[in-house]
């Protein structure tokens, strides 16, 4: 089975959720012209890294985002990996990914497990505690957020459970663009899975972001790569390839977990 992916590589207005929601809706409607099966958004597309104001601007229980994406997915019969949003709860604010299927059902939510101290996430966000496995189009998928890709053991938790597609949503800074590409290609090769990675572009008061969203096959070959400008990146993934490659080089059955 094949899936057409559309990654929305966006610039994000710092600390302006209303402006960002309008922009996201415009770009999602634009992406429909590509007739994708899945639309993917970047990390914290609603607030950007305006962390000090999250108590003021975060989406309470992510209600606005969840309602919008559910309705959009159902109306247009499309799967949405809705990046992540700043979700405000009584326990604090989380960096939370949501996924919706073609019927508008919320099939997953995931709070970022690994908080990035270099950007002060640990001072303003609560960490997640659970993995993120979900099914789209009868295929098991996984989703992680940005810094998570530096922890291969966390990715392997998901792929050893059978995930065939890894969705990565990010605000990855430009100075470490080479790491972004190397890590994502490595995660694809070692896990024999597709990697769909949607990054943002633009600037905030402290950072410049890399763009270069990627769609990578299980051999580590880059199928599609964006530049450093706002762009809708599309590509087609063939899920039968995952099963074939896992048979050719049986990494998962050859693991010796008694030693690690």
Along the 260 residues of the chain, how does pLDDT read in single tens digits?
Answer: 899 999 999 999 999 999 999 999 999 999 999 999 999 999 999 999 999 999 999 999 999 999 999 999 999 999 999 999 999 999 999 999 999 999 999 999 999 999 999 999 999 999 999 999 999 999 999 999 999 999 999 999 999 999 999 999 999 999 999 999 999 999 999 999 999 999 999 999 999 999 999 999 999 999 999 999 999 999 999 999 999 999 999 999 999 999 99
What pLDDT score does 209 carry? 98
Query: Is 43 noted as a catalytic residue in this protein?
Result: yes
Pairing of strands 139-145, 165-169: parallel
Query: Is 26 noted as a catalytic residue in this protein?
Result: no
Per the CB < 8 A criterion, the answer to whether 166 and 183 are in contact is no
Whole-prediction pTM value?
Answer: 0.97
Instruction: Indicate which residue of 7, 27, 43, 141 is catalytic.
Output: 43
Q: What residues have CB less than 8 Å from 75, skipping those under 6 apart?
A: 104
H or E element: which one contains 44? Answer: none
CB atoms within 10 A of CB 71: 12
pLDDT in tens, 155-209: 999 999 999 999 999 999 999 999 999 999 999 999 999 999 999 999 999 999 9
- State phi, psi for 80 to the nearest 5 degrees: -130, 120
d(CA 195, CA 191): 10
Please name the residue that has the structure tokens 């990494």. 251
Per the CB < 8 A criterion, the answer to whether 31 and 198 are in contact is no
Instruction: Indicate which residue of 7, 146, 193, 198 is catalytic.
Output: 146
Cα separations (Å) of 132 from 48, 122, 137, 159, 249? 22, 20, 16, 11, 25
Instruction: Indicate which residue of 27, 87, 88, 112 is catalytic.
Output: 112
Query: Is 146 noted as a catalytic residue in this protein?
Result: yes
> Regarding the domain with residue range 2-254, which homologous superfamily does it belong to in the CATH classification?
Carbon-nitrogen hydrolase (3.60.110.10)
């Amino acid at each position: 089975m094949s899936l057409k992916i559309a990654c929305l590589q966006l610039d994000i207005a710092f600390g302006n959720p209303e402006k960002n929601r309008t922009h996201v809706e415009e770009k999602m409607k634009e992406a429909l012209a590509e007739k994708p099966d899945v639309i993917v958004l970047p990390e914290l597309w609603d607030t950007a890294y305006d962390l000090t104001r999250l108590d003021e601007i975060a989406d309470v229980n992510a209600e606005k985002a969840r309602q919008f994406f559910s309705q959009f997915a159902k109306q247009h019969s499309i799967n949405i990996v809705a990046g992540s949003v700043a979700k405000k709860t009584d326990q604090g604010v989380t960096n939370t990914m949501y996924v919706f299927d073609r019927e508008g059902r919320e099939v997953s939510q995931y709070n970022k497990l690994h908080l990035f101290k270099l950007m002060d996430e640990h001072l303003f966000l609560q960490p997640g505690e659970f993995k993120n496995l979900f099914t789209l189009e009868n295929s098991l998928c996984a989703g992680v957020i940005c810094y998570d890709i530096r922890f291969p053991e966390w990715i392997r938790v998901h792929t050893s459970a059978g995930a065939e597609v890894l969705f990565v949503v990010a605000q990855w800074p430009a100075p470490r663009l080479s790491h972004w590409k190397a890590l994502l290609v490595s995660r694809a090769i070692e896990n024999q899975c597709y990697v769909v990675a949607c990054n943002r572009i633009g600037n905030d008061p402290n950072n410049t972001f890399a763009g270069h969203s990627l769609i990578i096959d299980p051999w580590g070959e880059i199928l599609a790569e964006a530049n450093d400008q706002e762009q809708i990146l599309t590509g087609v993934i063939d899920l039968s390839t995952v099963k074939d490659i896992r048979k050719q080089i049986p990494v998962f059955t050859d693991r010796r977990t008694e030693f690690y």
